[in-house]
Each structure stands twice: as structure tokens, then as C-alpha cells.
């Protein structure tokens, strides 16, 4: 089944407002250090990079490591500038990227 | 800020138990003093449960919603083909399971009921217990009872199974020789190492447990407690677990459903 993401941003804001953004991605964050029932190492499967752009400009990014829990929850703030789109991208250690977008209307 | 892994693995729970055989003062759980496990959690974990956009259990509910609408099996039907909009048709359903299933002459739990429909009505293979799919559907159906009172069926055919559940709940088990009641009735509100001992109300299941880093069923929780006292856990969907579930639902009658809850 596909990974799922929950994104919480205010729908509207005034220019200059500090807005809080919360993201929650369904992901096992399998460390690569654990053994399965068969005694073999369970292959690593983690998100390594998270990037958020706002109208094309990076406003937040983070590197994730095996010590981060499953279903990573990342929250941060930015300043509302113009109406437009936030793009959220999570990239795993296999190089695959999952993208989600959200709109904000700035008055 | 990202969440850290839990620092309280199950093995520690077990060693703490060995060191703390003398538990706190006895206090039986009176009907009106019933408290959900929510009440014993720290403010951070409570906040996580209350915010639908931070509660990871909601990811399982989304899985369930997608499955609800996806055709499966030889029938080519989805759950929605027969049951329509779950927000209407499944409202209050989880609050009254386990229920008596005449074709089995025994109660079935919600996970079992879903699989009866998978196999009988959708003509699709049963979903393995605790699989992402099975937990997703049960979470989505459970969510439709959120805020409603637990309302076990008033069905005399269930009485012997209720009695069986009560007997299991009060029976000592495992190498450490504890009954569920000794912790959850006599020592509820006390501590086991750092963990508060809740009253074991099944109000939030399936729920997201930080220690699991996943959404899991009430029976998974039972298995944790049984392993904690070094008893051989019953298997998923076993008559023993369904009887225990039935007894705990009766014991929590009238309390509000929280699915999907969050627990440490």
C-alpha cells in the first residue's frame, strides 16, 4: 500500500505572519540493524531527506537518520509571503521521493 | 522536531517487573472511578492523540478508508458496494463488538467480522491479523464510533463467554504468577517501574502505541501483558482472547470510544 502523509498548514494567513507547518508521513524507518524472525538483517528502509519549498524556494530541510522513530513527524515555522504552494518531499535511502503539496492564501 | 524512538522496550518492562513484585496499595476499580488509559498519559502524548494531524493512528484510518472503497476478490465488490458510506453505516458498530455470530455458535470480534465479509461476501482471502490492511479497516470502522459510548449487545447467548473472559481476567498466569486483575484492578493507578498501571479499558483500539511504532489491536496489547508476566500468549483471534475482549468491553460499558487512540 502507498505511503500516506498528513499535512497541517493554515489555509489563510496575513503577509508577515509566522505560520506553523506540521507533517506526518507513514514510513517504517527500518534501521537496517534489526534481525527478522529468520535471523537475517532486515534491510534498511529510511527517509534520509525532507525538503519543503514555498513557491519554489527552500524554507526548511532536514536530514533523517536511523534513530528517528517510524512515521516521522516534522514541524517547523515559516513566514507567510505570497499566496502559493508548499511542496513537501521525502526521499528514502533508495533514492525514491514522495511528494505532497498544499496551498496557502496570503492576504 | 522529529520524534525519537521509545526508550522503554518491552524487555525492560519485564525486568522491572521482577524487581517490583511488591506493587502499590490495593484499590479495586469502582464503576464510577473508571478512567481511560488516556488519563494516565503525559500531556505530550495526550496532545498527540487529540490532534488528528499529529496522531499517527490516523494514517491507519486512511489506509482503511482506501480499502473500504477498493473492489477486491472474485465478487469485484468493495465494502462500500454493499455498506455505502462508512461514516453512516459503520457508526456505532465497533462499540458493540464482540457480538454473537450464529453461524459459529460463538462471539466474533470486529477483526473476525471483517474477515467474514472478506471471505463470504467479497470472496477475497481473509486479511492476516495485525497486517496493515486488517488494522487499517478495523481502525477506520472503529473511528466511526469515536465519542460514542461502548454498548455491548444485550444478548444472553454471550453470557457464558463473558464468564469465561472474567475467569481468564482473574486467573493467575505465567512464571510470575499474576492475574490481569491484580495489576489492573488491585493496583491500577500505581506504577510498574516508570509505567503507570492503567485500568485496562479497551476504549482506544486499534491504537498507535509509541513502543510499537505502529497501530495495533487490543489483542496485541494482551499479548504484551501476557509476555510481561512470562505466560505463553494466546493466539490472535483465539476464543480466549475474544472472551477477554468481551469481558473488558462489558466492564467498560458506557465509556467513550477513542479510536484511534495513542498510548505510550
pLDDT confidence of residue B30: 54
The minimal CB distance from A8 to the residues B53, B63, B214 is found for: B53
The minimal CB distance from A71 to the residues B6, B136, B213 is found for: B213
* Separation of alpha carbons A54 and A82, rounded Å: 9
- The answer to whether residue B7 is domain-embedded is no
Confidence of residue B4 (pLDDT cuts 50, 70, 90): low
Cβ separation A4–B214 shorter than 8 A: no
Distances (CA, A) of B244 to B108, B223, B248: 12, 12, 6
CATH classification of the domain holding A62:
2.60.40.10
pLDDT confidence of residue A3: 77
What is the CA angle B245-B248-B252, rounded to 5? 135
Cβ separation A24–B59 shorter than 8 A: yes
- The answer to whether residue B134 is domain-embedded is yes
In the predicted model, what is the mean pLDDT of residues B190-218? 96
- Chain B positions with Cβ closer than 8 Å to A: 1-6, 51-54, 56, 58-59, 62-63, 66, 132-133, 136, 210, 213-214
pLDDT confidence of residue B20: 44
Share of chain B above pLDDT 90, in %: 87
Least confident of A10-14, A17-21, A96-100, B66-70: A10-14
Does residue B101 carry a pLDDT above 50? yes
Nearest in space to B208 (alpha carbons), one of B66, B12, B51, B15:
B51
Nearest in space to A92 (alpha carbons), one of A41, A58, A54, A48:
A48
A-chain residues near B2 (CB < 8 A): 62, 64, 68-69, 72-74
Does residue B137 carry a pLDDT above 60? yes
* Reported pTM: 0.90
Nearest-Cα residue of chain B relative to residue A30: B213
Closest chain A C-alpha to B31 CA, distance in angstroms: 37
The minimal CB distance from B56 to the residues A2, A24, A64 is found for: A24
User: A 55-94 residues with CB below 8 A of B?
Assistant: 62, 64, 67-75
- The answer to whether residue B258 is domain-embedded is yes
Does residue B148 carry a pLDDT above 60? yes
pLDDT confidence of residue A1: 62
Q: What are phi and psi of B241, to 5 degrees?
A: -70, -35
pLDDT confidence of residue A11: 87
Nearest-Cα residue of chain A relative to residue B51: A8
Cβ separation A73–B5 shorter than 8 A: no
- The answer to whether residue B144 is domain-embedded is yes
Does residue A22 carry a pLDDT above 50? yes
Cβ separation B56–A72 shorter than 8 A: no
Does the interface predicted TM-score (ipTM) exceed 0.90? no
State the SS3 of chain A: CCCCEEEECCCEECCCCEEEEEEEECCCCECCCCECCCCCECCCECEEEEEEEECCEEEEEEECCCCECCCCEEEEEEECCCCEEEEEEEEECCCCEEEEEEEEEEC
* Separation of alpha carbons B243 and A86, rounded Å: 50
Cβ separation A64–B2 shorter than 8 A: yes
Q: How many C-beta atoms lie closer than 10 Å to residue A23's C-beta?
A: 24
pLDDT confidence of residue B1: 45
Question: Could you tell me which residue, A96 or B17, shows the higher pLDDT?
Answer: A96
Domain housing A88 = 5-106
Confidence of residue B23 (pLDDT cuts 50, 70, 90): very low
In the predicted model, what is the mean pLDDT of residues A101-107? 95
Nearest-Cα residue of chain A relative to residue B208: A71
- The answer to whether residue B14 is domain-embedded is no
Q: Could you tell me if A37 lies within 8 Å of chain B, comparing CB atoms?
A: no
Nearest-Cα residue of chain A relative to residue B212: A70
Q: What is the pLDDT of residues B167-181, one digit of tens each?
A: 999 999 999 999 999
CATH classification of the domain holding B208:
1.10.760.10
- The answer to whether residue B163 is domain-embedded is yes
Q: What is the pLDDT of residues B35-52, one digit of tens each?
A: 999 999 999 999 999 999
- The answer to whether residue B146 is domain-embedded is yes
pLDDT confidence of residue B31: 53
- The answer to whether residue B10 is domain-embedded is no
Give the number of beta-carbon pairs within 8 Å between A and B. Answer: 60
Positions of B marked active-site = 225
Nearest-Cα residue of chain A relative to residue B58: A6
Domain housing B128 = 34-264
**What is the number of domains present in chain A?**
1
The minimal CB distance from B2 to the residues A6, A28, A73 is found for: A73
**What is the number of domains present in chain B?**
1
Share of chain A above pLDDT 90, in %: 93
In the predicted model, what is the mean pLDDT of residues B141-156? 98
Does residue B152 carry a pLDDT above 70? yes
> A36, exposed or middle or buried, with CB in 10 Å at 0-12, 13-18, 19+?
exposed
Amino acid at each position: 500500500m502507498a505511503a500516506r502523509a498528513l499535512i497541517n498548514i493554515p489555509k489563510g494567513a496575513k503577509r508577515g505572519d509566522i505560520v506553523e507547518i506540521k507533517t506526518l508521513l507513514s514510513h517504517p524507518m527500518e534501521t537496517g540493524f534489526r534481525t527478522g524472525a529468520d535471523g537475517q538483517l532486515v534491510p534498511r528502509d529510511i527517509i534520509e531527506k525532507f525538503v519543503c519549498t514555498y513557491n519554489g524556494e527552500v524554507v526548511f530541510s532536514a536530514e533523517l537518520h536511523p534513530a528517528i522513530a517510524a512515521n516521522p513527524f516534522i514541524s517547523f515555522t515559516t513566514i507567510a509571503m505570497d499566496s502559493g504552494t508548499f511542496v513537501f518531499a521525502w526521499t528514502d535511502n533508495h533514492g525514491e521521493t514522495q511528494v505532497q503539496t498544499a496551498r496557502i492564501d496570503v492576504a | 522536531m522529529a520524534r525519537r524512538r521509545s526508550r522503554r522496550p518491552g524487555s525492560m518492562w519485564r525486568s522491572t517487573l521482577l524487581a517490583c513484585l511488591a506493587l502499590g496499595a490495593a484499590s479495586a476499580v469502582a464503576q464510577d472511578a473508571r478512567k481511560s488509559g488516556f488519563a494516565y498519559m503525559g500531556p505530550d502524548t495526550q496532545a498527540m492523540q487529540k490532534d488528528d494531524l499529529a496522531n499517527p493512528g490516523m494514517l491507519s484510518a486512511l489506509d482503511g478508508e482506501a480499502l473500504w472503497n477498493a473492489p477486491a476478490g472474485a465478487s469485484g465488490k468493495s465494502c462500500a458496494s454493499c455498506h455505502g458510506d462508512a461514516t453512516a453505516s459503520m457508526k456505532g458498530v465497533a462499540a458493540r463488538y464482540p457480538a454473537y455470530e450464529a453461524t459459529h455458535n460463538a462471539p466474533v470480534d470486529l477483526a473476525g467480522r471483517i474477515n467474514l465479509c472478506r471471505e463470504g461476501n467479497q470472496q477475497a482471502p481473509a486479511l492476516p491479523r495485525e497486517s496493515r490492511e486488517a488494522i487499517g479497516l478495523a481502525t477506520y470502522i472503529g473511528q466511526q464510533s469515536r465519542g460514542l459510548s461502548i454498548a455491548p449487545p444485550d444478548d444472553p447467548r454471550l453470557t457464558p463467554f463473558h464468564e469465561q473472559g472474567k475467569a481468564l481476567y482473574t486467573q493467575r498466569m505465567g512464571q510470575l504468577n499474576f492475574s490481569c486483575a491484580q495489576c489492573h484492578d488491585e493496583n491500577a493507578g500505581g506504577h510498574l517501574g516508570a509505567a503507570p498501571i492503567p485500568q485496562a479499558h479497551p476504549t482506544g483500539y486499534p491504537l498507535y502505541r509509541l513502543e510499537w511504532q505502529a497501530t495495533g489491536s487490543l489483542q496485541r496489547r494482551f499479548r504484551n501483558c501476557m509476555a510481561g508476566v512470562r505466560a505463553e500468549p494466546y493466539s490472535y483471534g483465539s476464543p480466549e482472547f475474544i472472551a477477554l475482549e468481551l469481558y473488558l468491553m462489558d466492564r467498560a460499558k458506557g465509556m467513550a470510544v477513542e479510536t484511534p487512540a495513542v498510548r505510550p
